[in-house]
Structures are given as C-alpha cells and as structure tokens.
Amino acid sequence: MHVLAIVYLVIALFLFLIFVLFAKTFMGLWLTEVGLWIVWLPLSLLVSGVIVILRFEVLASDKLNFVFILISILLNLYTSIHVLVPFFEIKKTNFYLEQAMKFGLGDDYLDFVDPIVNAKYFKTVKFRFLHYLIGARPRKLLEKVARVKDITFFKDETIDLKLNVYYPKREGVFPTIVFIHGGAFILGSKDRPKHEKLCMMLANYGYTVFSLDYRLTPLEFLSKKKSLKDELLFAAMLSDVHHGVVFAKKHAHEYKGNANELFLFGRSAGGHLALLTTFSCMGKFFEFNEQIGKLEEYKISGVIAFYPPTNFSTLYNCYGKKNLMKFLMERGMGGSPDEVQYLYRFFSPVNYVTSKNSQFIPPVFLAVGAKDRLVAPGQSEELYAQLRKFNIPSVLLTLPWANHGFDAILNGPGGQLVIKYLTQFLVWVLTKEKYRRLDSLAHKHGLDDLTHQEKIDILCNLDALKDKSSNKEKYNQFLIDCFRERIKKEQQE
C-alpha cells in the first residue's frame, strides 16, 4: 500500500508544480489555456484516491498511507479548480472585453462596419467549446489558404532575410498584414507552427499576411563584454521590419493584397518592433539607412501588439536584482538604465506617443494577460493611457487569468476571445479609412452633411471598390458622380 500512496502523492505534486506553481512564473506562458485538456488527470486521481480511502479503509490500517493519499486528493482538487478558472471566468471576461472595445472605439462601433468589407469578422464573440477541443487545423486551413514560403525580401553582403506569404484562395483583393514574431529578440522564426497557424487563420479570415524573419541578437552578446550598444542591433531589427513593410507594399498585389490597407501585427518582442516601427515613422530611424525609402511609403492603417514591451526603463525596474530578464536587458542594452538611459528611451515605443506625433499614429490594438510574468501588463497599460491622452483610437484587452503567450493556444479561452475581437477591430479600421476618404471628397464638393446611411449606400454600390488599389481614378470619379447626383437632387427639391 505504501507504494501506491507514494505514487499518488508524487503525481499530484508533479501536476501541482507544473499547472499551478510553474504556470505562474515567467516560464509558464500558455499553461493557463490548456485546462480542459488536462483536467481529467487530476480529477481521475482525485476520484480514485477517494475510492482507495473508502474501499480499503486506509485510515484504519495505516495512518501514513492515509495522510499521503489525503494530501494527493487535496492537491488534485486544488489543481483541478485552478486549471478550470479561465473557463469559469469566460462569460464575465467576455463582457468586460466587449466594454473595452466600446470604450476604445465607441458604443456603436460595429454599426459603422462596411457591409461589403472583403474580410470576415465575428459580429458576436463567444467561446466555442468544440473549437477548443478540435484546435486550429493547419491542413484544413490550407484547403482555403495559399502559402508561399522563403521569399527573400532583403539581401546584402551579410544577410538574406526571408518571409512567408499566406493569402485566401478565393477571389478578391484583401487587406494586408505584416506579422512579426516574438522571442525576446533572441529566439523565434516565421516558420514556427504557432506563427504559421495564426497567419493561416488570418488569411482564412480574408487577409494577405506577410510573416517576416529579422536579425536576432547573437548569443555571444549574452556572454561577452560586447554589447548591443556597440552595433545597435535594435536599429538593425527596425531596419529589417522597414524593409519588410516596403516589400509588402510593393508586392501585395501579387498575392491578392491591398497595399493601401496595411497593418503591422506582432507578439511580444515582435509587438515591440511593430509599435516602434509605426510610432517612430517621424523619427530618427528613417535617417540612418538611405535604402529604406521615402516616408510616404510607410503609411500604416493600424498596429496590433500582444503583450509587448513598451517602456524598457520601467520594465527593467519590474524585475528583481538577480532576475534573468534584467541580466538579458543589461547585456542587450550595454548597461542599466542609469548607465545608458538614452538607449532605453530611444527604443521604447511609449516615448514616441507625443502631441507632435499623435496625428501620424494609427489605431492601436493591445492584448495582455493580467498575470504576465515575463512582460508586466503595466507595459501595455502605460502605452494605452498615453494613447488615450492624445485621443488616438486604441483598445486594450486584458485577460485576468492569462500569462505571457496565452494565444499560442489559438483556440484556447484567451486566444478565441482576443482573435475574434481583433477581427472586429480590423474591419472597423478598414471602414473608418473608407469613410475618411468619402468625407474628404465630399467636403471638396460641399457635402459635409452626408449621413451614415448615404455613405453605406455609396459603398454598397461602388463596383470599383475591389479595384480601387489599382484604379484610384475610377474610384474617385465614381464618388464624384455620386456627389453630383446628390447635389442635383437637392437643387430639384
């Protein structure tokens, strides 16, 4: 009996350490999202432990066995409840996420969605249990999505940077997304399964997705006195992303993409690069490399960042004295914030959200886990507050149970909710841009009082809409004809 009791206790301790204690650390990442997949194990052990106590009268025969099994029952009970917390909180969390969307975009934000937008979105966001169990199926997605891998988008004597492209097989012209993977600026690849699944999912929703590789920090920087300060590797990463944006702009039409509707999307370190690329478009990064092109080539419709670092100085101070992340930041930056404050500020996206730059910053979508132990949720909160200060349309979605990398399980509770709200954000931005062009042309023709319904009618009857990226004159002429018809009608009345 001793052996059985010990086995019960060891397994219970193992599950508790992995799915409770380890899940709360910076290495736990997506473990909060797998509860329904593994809960059967601690529950089975819990039930069998109770049966053992009752059936074999362990208490009467051996108190030590009873204590071991009782402890294992309590551990399994706690583990089971803990891994199910996200599923208990889904309904309440979904309500708060919806309120966050309305707060950022307006109570009626879905009423302003273009009815003929060429991308799918979820009008109602719900967690689908069946989708969670099935998961994202790449083979199924590839039936509807075309994929082209390892296209060189920038090359010189020392580097050969490649990207993958994913786009819908159905006919149409689709908005474009440039995706930037994460990995603490040290690891990661466009070819990792979790990145490919996300890109294929977005393509299935109606987007042309360019997934980039970029130069990573060599591991030698972590062990030698040589530091990032000597070669400005962050600047090199930004340059790589810039080249990727230019490539996507120039070649989007080859993969059914619309170059005039372009979003940047990044996870973690990739989110930082997406934000910094977008926010610094008026700054110094466009001065150090003559090859990156002209400023107007970088018009970005919106930026999406999941759990990104936004302020390196405050992030550094979040870590303890002997924390591994603090060591990596010191090695990467070439010192602490006190020693190289200018670099910490220079590479922090939040410092570019100013009154001067605010008119050039597009809408921003942020998502973070409240229990993120790798990049504190305060990073996204600080950026969100700064964006709101300057009235920049922005959304911050916070998942109360989630750690860093929660969306690695795309159909998990966090992944499902955030991705579905993201589809709403994307079509909202696309519609706003169309309305902005309508309003600009209407103003030129003295029609500042166009109603929302009139705008919808124009968009619904705009046969040239799908071709506007390649036939702008036809698009504008159609709008002018619509405005002239409106003026004629008013004169007759």
- Residue 440 binned pLDDT confidence (cut-offs 50, 70, 90): low
Up-side HSE of residue 14: CA atoms within 13 Å toward CB? 10
Structure confidence at residue 164 (pLDDT) = 95
Percent of all residues in the chain with a pLDDT value above 90, rounded to a whole number: 31
411 is written with which tokens? 């159909």
pLDDT for 139: 79
pLDDT at 474 over 80: no
Residue 136 phi/psi, 5° resolution? -75, 125
pLDDT in tens, 294-331: 445 568 899 999 999 999 888 888 776 666 677 777 77
Q: What is the DSSP string of 348-415?
A: -GGGG--TTTGGG---EEEEEETT-SSS-THHHHHHHHHHHHTT--EEEEEETT--TTGGGSTTSHHH
- Interatomic CA distance for residues 33 and 87, integer angstroms: 9
Confidence category of residue 223, pLDDT binned at 50, 70, 90: low
Tell me which residue has tokens 């597009």. 362
Q: What percent of the chain has pLDDT over 70?
A: 77
**Has residue 197 got a pLDDT over 80?**
yes
Query: When comparing pLDDT for 448 and 29, which is higher?
Result: 29
Q: What is the mean pLDDT of residues 453-471?
A: 51
Mean pLDDT of the chain: 81
Confidence check: pLDDT of 338 > 60: yes
d(CA 324, CA 326): 5
Say if residue 452's pLDDT is above 80: no
CB–CB of 269/392 below 8 Å?
no
- Model confidence pLDDT, tens digit, residues 79-133: 888 888 888 889 999 999 999 999 999 888 887 776 667 788 898 999 988 888 8
Which of 20-34, 110-124, 336-350 is the most confident on average?
Answer: 336-350
Q: Dump the DSSP string for 93-159.
A: HHHHHHHHHHHHH-TTGGGGS-TT-SS---SS----HHHHHH---HHHHTTTEEEEEEEEEEE-SS-
Per-residue pLDDT, 466? 45
Residue 146 has pLDDT above 90, yes or no: yes
CB 179, CB 265: distance < 8 Å: yes
Q: Is residue 212 within a helix (H) or strand (E), and if so which, with residue range?
A: strand 208-212
pLDDT band at 426 (very low <50, low <70, confident <90, very high): very high
